[in-house]
Amino acid sequence: MVVPVRPVHVAVLDFHLRDLTGDRLLAEFKRPEYQTAVIMITTDPTPDLATTLMRQGADAYVRKPFDPAYLIDLCEKVRRERALLRVEALLEARTRQLRESETRFRLLFHSIPEAVLLYDLRGVVLQVNAFGCRQFGADEAEIAGHDLRSFLEPAAAEALEERIRATLDEGACSFEMTCLSRGGRRFDVEVNQRLVEYDGDRAVLCVARDLTERRRTEEERRRLEAKMRHTQKLESLGILAGGIAHDFNNLLMGVLGNAGLALMELSPESPVRQRVQQIE
């Protein structure tokens, strides 16, 4: 059986061959890896044969005798149709891949445990993830399409244009600012943002990390460190006081010992006995 050595665009098969019928070759030419358009020709006037061959995958059917120019035009037409089908299949596959990629992106975007915003160079929010919505106390529709400045304290809102210029100049920048939720809660964030392309235009991708917990932890650490330093001071004072008391006790023992010895040597009538007793 003859099979194509390499893929061809259009094959013309005669149904009545010397050793076999053309329908046996049809399946070989219509293998998916070839993507070949096949035109069957025959002298058989039976319409059932044409229907059968078309069902088996033939792209066109020509009954002999025929004008060669007609066959050439038909080949060109079938080739164009096959090319169009390949383009449509490719577009469909690319569209499917794009949808899958977009779905993966949205899942990743909304699963990031930091507030992520995309806003244009005017400061209008284009997209915000689920964590950012929770931080700002609003849903996506209440944030996207609105000016980011409405979610910032006045000083941070005034500095936003400067931050955008810095991002345009450097491509990225980092800073801290204070945000406001819809409920009026103030919270400080550490911002890392960079310049990106969005829908053919420039935009700013912003990742804002809430500093509330970090600062609470740092404050607790400072409090514990201060408490530890105070405890260490008290321990040092205790050790110092104990040492002083020990040294002073040694001195007192000398005074008391000598006073006692002096009283033992003094007679009861001695005029200094009362003085030594006072010392003791």
Sheet holding 115-120, edge to edge: 125-128, 115-120, 201-210, 186-198, 172-180
What pLDDT is recorded for position 88? Answer: 72
pLDDT over 60 (residue 275): yes
Helix and strand counts by DSSP (H, E) for the chain: 8, 8
Query: pTM of the full predicted structure?
Result: 0.50
* 207 three-state secondary structure: strand
DSSP code, position 37: E
pLDDT over 90 (residue 72): no
What pLDDT is recorded for position 34? Answer: 66
DSSP code, position 152: B
pLDDT tens-digit profile of 221-258? 888 888 888 888 888 888 888 888 888 888 888 888 88
Average pLDDT of the residues in 96-107: 77
What pLDDT is recorded for position 47? Answer: 76
State the DSSP string of 251-266: HHHHHHHHHHHHHHHS
What does the block give as tokens for 53? 């061959």
Pick the closest to residue 49 from 61, 59, 38, 57 (CA basis): 61
124: confidence class by pLDDT, cuts 50, 70, 90:
very high
pLDDT over 70 (residue 32): no
CA torsion, ordered 205, 210, 214, 216, to nearest 10 deg: 160
